[in-house]
Amino acid sequence: MPGNMNNLMKQAQRMQRQMEEQQAELVELQRKILSTVWQYVKPGGTLVYSTCTINKRENDRQIDAFLRKHPDFCENPLADVLSDKLLYRIRGGRLQLFPHIDGIDGFFIASLKRKGIE
């Protein structure tokens, strides 16, 4: 029995490492997508970034890094485009939904406006 438990622990550790590597690859892919698509947004235009996760590395941290690198973008308030039921959950141009609160899969949305034309 101890041998089986040891094998299970090793397998769990391998799976955890693999998941972390896959997540790092996904974060990098998302960064590359953002670093490409921003240039197609005209001044005054909107870029919407959305994921189906609650992971801060893929969501808030990704947007924070993008905004630091691209000062010609700012958060675009979501209050005008979302349901009144969600207004208390909006943080500027960002909204995070959670399975345990909203009864759906985790979901993130950020609306970013390219400065220039008002």
Residue 74 catalytic?
A: no
Q: Are 104 and 52 in contact (CB under 8 A)?
A: no
How many CB atoms within 10 Å of residue 84? 7
Catalytic residue of the set 52, 79, 87, 104: 52
- Rounded Cα distance, 16 and 22, in Å: 10
CA dihedral (96, 30, 43, 46) in degrees, to 10, reads: -30
- Rounded Cα distance, 50 and 77, in Å: 15
State the catalytic residues: 52
